[in-house]
Structure 1
Amino acid sequence: MTDSPIQAAIDCLRIHGVSVRQSSAWLAEDHDPRFSPVEAYQPQFKHHVERSYLMEVREAETSYYVFRVFIGLGLRLLPVSPAREGEDPEKHEAGEAESDGVLAQIEATFVAEYDTDTDPGPEALEAFAQRNASYHVWPYWREFVSNQCARMELPRVVIPTVQFAVPADTQ
């Protein structure tokens, strides 16, 4: 018997894979990153669990479950202004700032997929989705941003090694 719902999910879920469900990236029409110094950008980040679900898969005479967690991630680059200098770049979600002045934006929804032979229950799955799935997605997001910045000729943006998702009900 496990001590907590989240531990029940950790004990039975096996990572199957991480994939990109959708992505978008753009530069402001009048912005040319080749001629902007790195210091000209103020980053904003977005990170939240969008949804998750469990489905039963039946093959021949056996069945198992697949648990999918959809995580929305984003990066905006804003011009540094006196009002923003000294602000914590993680203080604001990307969706909170006005869209005026955004120089570049990269967003993606990743799906973390897990296999399990048992259903640990909705409470365990929700806790796992909110607290653990981001650990599996995060390296893919960091690589995605790094490559997309290079393709867009943006300065290299170093995404922190770990960031936790904000539960949807607290936004």
Structure 2
Amino acid sequence: MSIGKEYLRVVRERFVVLKEQGEKTFAQLDEEDFNWTLNEASNSIAVLIQHVSGNMVSRWTDFLTTDGEKPDRNRDGEFETKQMSKTQLMECWEHGWHVFLDALESLDEQDLLKTVLIRGEAHSVIDAIERQMAHYAAHIGQIMFIGKQIKGEQWKNLSIPKGESDAYLQRMLKGQ
């Protein structure tokens, strides 16, 4: 397998894991939890879902041929609180991920060094992918942190629980 194909395979897997972490958080939340904020300066999970989805649709629609900041995107509007049901938020989330993963899947190794524009600034495709990895990981980390704050003691850990690192390592080494 070529380096380019391997890179695209690995990066797609990493994005899918990020998506799943967000979804495992959503599964633990009640309808009203999606709009919880710590204070006026904080974003709710609902706002973060709208922003991530809006970013994905803008950046990844016609990814190789148009600027990633589409003229019809209302980025500021993504940060406004809207009353949306959990179902509507999940549809928004899925739409963004569908656009993004389809675009990522359509790339081949010859595309990786092509140049794309984001807000008029040139980036290699690799750079654009890595830029989005950092962006989406940061926001999904926020989503998970907010979910953990809301659920408190009822939070179901999404990684290795505190105090269980050695046991986890032993299970991994034994192939379990």
Q: Do the two structures share a fold, i.e. TM-score over 0.5?
A: no
Bigger radius of gyration: 1
More strand by share: 1
Higher share in helix: 2
> What is the TM-score normalised by the length of structure 2?
0.23
